[in-house]
Structure 1
Amino acid sequence: MTEQQHGYWRASDGSAVSAGQAHIVWTRAAYPALVEVARRYHAVITYADLAEAVQEASGVRTRVNQRHWIGKVLSLVIREAHRRGDPPLTALVVHATDGKVGPGYQEVLAVAGQPPVAAEMDREQHAAAARLACYRHFGADLPADGGTPALAP
């Protein structure tokens, strides 16, 4: 079987890419994509849309369902944002079905040295506050009152 049927490959020439290489390349594409989202007040991006965006931007593709790899990419984004002193950009990534962050968001807390939150609504409130921090940090056009955290509808 070819790499294109089951693995990861460069769209430009079809050459194989390891999963680990793909995750790194996609993280490099995800960071600026998420910064662009953060520049629009109350904007979010779905996991699926981010997965497609990073593949398009990087030229590295896969047929593997994003549920099996997007968490690895977001984990790297969490660490990079923490290293840079940026707010957690992964708070901007939500499920299309309910507009909420996934359970993997707990890693944001762990990397920041904070205790995990057990209740889903507590996690959502933390993510909403983190999104507002992203909008403020990356220069979104905020309302006169400075903006408010937005929970999923």
Structure 2
Amino acid sequence: MKAAEARDIWAEEAYSLLIDVARTYHAVITYKELAEKVQKTSGIRTSALLHNWIGAVLGVVVREAHRRGDPPLTALVVHSDDGMVGEGYKEVLRVAGEPPLEDVFEREHHAAEARLACYRRFGATLPPDGGTAALAPRLQATVERRRAREGGPPPQVCLTCFVQLPVTGVCDSCG
């Protein structure tokens, strides 16, 4: 079987699998999980590294979703290590005729809005308010940890020598 044929079959499988993911509010799937599932359901396996083929499969999904008028299902696919969409998310923007988002968090917020559109379109049970766009759970946890670390009051500084004060509040230099 040629690579293009396998890609198209995997893309069909991915489309169906992503619709299933979209039926659960705030659900996402990792690239690795999606790759394993499309190979298993299609019966077509590859020994190629994931990053060498999954982007082409998801590119087909992006274009097909756009053709059908569906929201970008690929927003549901995130990296397992950080919970972020990949660089290939730029294809969603390109196909939609939108400018690229170079800022990582702008891209993540765009993907969060796209995920919410997917949940709404494919029948996820939403809260009474219609639901909210959310970062992927792993990324949200990272953001919250960072906020907690940085959220404390700024360190106190000696008004005479401008050195950060120790816990005692008494400057070691000025006394």
What TM-score does the superposition give when structure 2 sets the normalisation length? 0.77
Give the corresponding residue for 1:109: 93
**Correspondence list, 1:44-83, <5 A:** 44-83=28-67
Structure 1 outlier segments of 4+, above 2 Å: none
Cα RMSD, aligned residues only? 0.6
Counterpart Cα distance in 2 of 1:116 and 1:62 = 31
SS at match of 2:45: strand
Give the corresponding residue for 1:32: 16
Which protein has greater RCO, CA pairs closer than 8 Å, 6+ apart? 1
**Given the alignment of the two structures, is residue 84 of structure 1 paired with residue 73 of structure 2, yes or no?**
no
Percent identity of equivalent pairs: 62
Instruction: Name structure 1 gaps, 5 residues minimum.
Output: 1-16
Correspondent of 2:112 among 80, 103, 128? 128
Q: CA deviation at 1:103?
A: 1.1
Instruction: Return the letter of the residue paired with 1:86.
Output: D
Instruction: Name structure 2 gaps, 5 residues minimum.
Output: 141-175
CA deviations over 1:84-128 (Å, ceiling 9, x no partner):
000000000000001100111011000000110110000000000
Give the corresponding residue for 1:43: 27
Counterpart Cα distance in 1 of 2:106 and 2:55 = 20
CA deviations over 1:117-146 (Å, ceiling 9, x no partner):
110000000000000000000000001111
Answer 1 or 2: which has greater strand percent: 1
Q: CA deviation at 1:18?
A: 1.3
